[in-house]
Structure 1
């Protein structure tokens, strides 16, 4: 990212602090809109690049720099979402949003392992849990932008309209349509403590290869989805039904002696990670309703595990040894 002394102004920028204070808000917005931290970082960097490409006179003429930055970031996200649909048609297997750990566990993709700048961390709340993000993926780009800006970030429809390029009334309809999708797909969530207990029981039953316990923890119509991105082995299509999921889990259990399964917070909710030689190679998120698991998302694509590990190291044995093999009975 360019620094304030580089755009050619020749003097310190008195508004630098106010401008940079918007960075975390922009990162939070872009991640929710795109479901990808890497894409969100690119959007935020491009947003600031456009700000510093302007002359000081042009910057001073903007009465609300924060609103200007949000508008630019929102439009960039809309463009990315529109192009992402085409990219994901060629994606190998299922595409799952990028999972995020608790802020204290964030690691950069650099080999030095320096912690991520707090301004780049995403605030973990219900608008970033995996079930919520997956529903967002089913929306049109305009629906997603209108809904997130208005319902999550509380921007008025007049401002949303400037970003989406439609009338305020049209944006209201887009947000309403998105809201209906959310409500139709979401069952009342179990309390966090209950979810944590179910995930812990699931981990213990999985490690013990306890078939009856696993089936008892899964909804009979549960679904499991894995994302290897064609880089590492993963099931290519969702697995449906508790018994089929358990069969897949037990196939993986034979390799658990080489893996360590740990409880972690994933996108603000109880989840699991699998580590090989101390490197996270899989992240598991859960959708739990009542006392049953309705959906499991297993993210193995190392490009999506940068906040959890040191980038290329995530491939390790689990990645390079297995290559891009994808089997129909493997959630690993």
Structure 2
């Protein structure tokens, strides 16, 4: 079983990281670019939209008088958050007319992302779907507070609320997230063992093996965006999901199936003719597969060509 590999992402706005002749504004932007992308991506669940937000952030940052900026990192995060909030509301309207199930855009992540447990959890496909249940402001507050550990006053400036209101929003969002996120901690070894068992069973069409590793209430979601064939509604239950996977792998006999680190979790990548056809993200809890997220929309697969570096 091979693994996907790719190069590090480059800075679109402000030039390449490590440029020799950067002005102070460009230097600050490049230094925090991976952090800003991570903030935008966690808020939006879309790498393409996160890149657009960074472009907008750069345009605004380039016009700022740096002599008036006390904390450049905080200022950049504030601009990024405001731009992401605006785009999140637009994205919400686009999702209303989306064909079939909308899933976050998968990222081929650098190996070191998985070493940061909190960051890895926050960008997992399962967690990004949980964040979809929050309002735009709740999502921004939760991400900035729980993932990036910003203070209430700093968050208040970013979302246009007062610190007391931000505290209330953070509490409300935290309660909603806690009710939906996995409660049983899973060790890396346990997750890898379950994933490997799932991979072997899926690759060989082993129905019994799939039933052994799938949780009784496992959910399969597919996103074809109206361009590629995908299940339009969630498929629930180990037997239904296992039989669907066996049938699907039988039809994809000519495909190449590989493992990859997608959103800081092991995933399967199906290639046809050398091109990524499907990314199957896997959620594991208690040693069993609880969620499967198949992204087939070609517009969402461009960030599978190279590793994306995420930072807190």
TM-score tier after normalising by the smaller chain length: 0.7 to 0.9
Q: Secondary structure at 1:224's aligned position in 2?
A: strand
* Per-residue deviation, residues 214-235 of structure 1 (Å, max 9, x unmatched): 1121111111001111111111
Using the TM superposition, name which of 159-168 and 223-232 deviates more.
Answer: 159-168
Q: Pick from 246, 255, 278: which aligns with 1:259? A: 255
Q: Secondary structure at 2:193's aligned position in 1?
A: helix
State the distance in 1 between where 2:259 and 2:271 align.
11
Q: Which has the higher contact order (CA 8 A, sep 6+)?
A: 2
C-alpha deviation, 1:89, in angstroms: 0.6
State the distance in 1 between where 2:44 and 2:56 align.
15
Partner of 1:34: 44
Partner of 1:244: 240
Partner of 1:156: 151
Kept in 1, the 8 Å contact 2:205–2:250? The answer is no
Partner of 2:95: 88
Superposition CA RMSD, Å: 2.2
State the distance in 2 between where 1:243 and 1:269 align.
24
Q: Pick from 186, 195, 200: which aligns with 1:204? A: 200
Q: Secondary structure at 1:88's aligned position in 2?
A: helix
C-alpha deviation, 1:124, in angstroms: 5.7
State the distance in 1 between where 2:14 and 2:122 align.
32
Q: Secondary structure at 2:48's aligned position in 1?
A: helix
Q: Pick from 69, 78, 81: which aligns with 1:74? A: 81
Partner of 2:114: none
Shift of the 124–156 alpha-carbon distance from structure 1 to 2, 3 Å rule, reads closer
- TM-score when normalising by structure 2: 0.85
* Per-residue deviation, residues 19-74 of structure 1 (Å, max 9, x unmatched): 321212111111111111111111111111112234xxx33222223222211111
- Superposed counterparts of 1:279-290, under 5 Å: 279-290=275-286
State the distance in 2 between where 1:38 and 1:141 align.
18
- TM-score when normalising by structure 1: 0.80
Gaps of 5+ in 1: 5-10, 105-122, 311-332
Q: Secondary structure at 2:179's aligned position in 1?
A: helix
- Structure possessing the higher radius of gyration over alpha carbons: 1
* Per-residue deviation, residues 235-285 of structure 1 (Å, max 9, x unmatched): 111101111112211221222311121122121112111111222211111
* 2:136 maps to 1:141: yes
State the distance in 2 between where 1:196 and 1:60 align.
50
Shift of the 172–40 alpha-carbon distance from structure 1 to 2, 3 Å rule, reads same
State the distance in 1 between where 2:247 and 2:268 align.
18
* 2:21 maps to 1:19: no
Kept in 2, the 8 Å contact 1:274–1:281? The answer is yes
Q: Secondary structure at 1:22's aligned position in 2?
A: helix
Kept in 1, the 8 Å contact 2:110–2:261? The answer is no
Partner of 1:192: 188
* Per-residue deviation, residues 168-207 of structure 1 (Å, max 9, x unmatched): 1111111112212222122324222222222221122123
* 2:301 maps to 1:305: yes
- Superposed counterparts of 1:312-323, under 5 Å: none
- Superposed counterparts of 1:219-238, under 5 Å: 219-238=215-234
Kept in 1, the 8 Å contact 2:283–2:289? The answer is yes
How many residues align? The count is 284
Partner of 1:102: 109
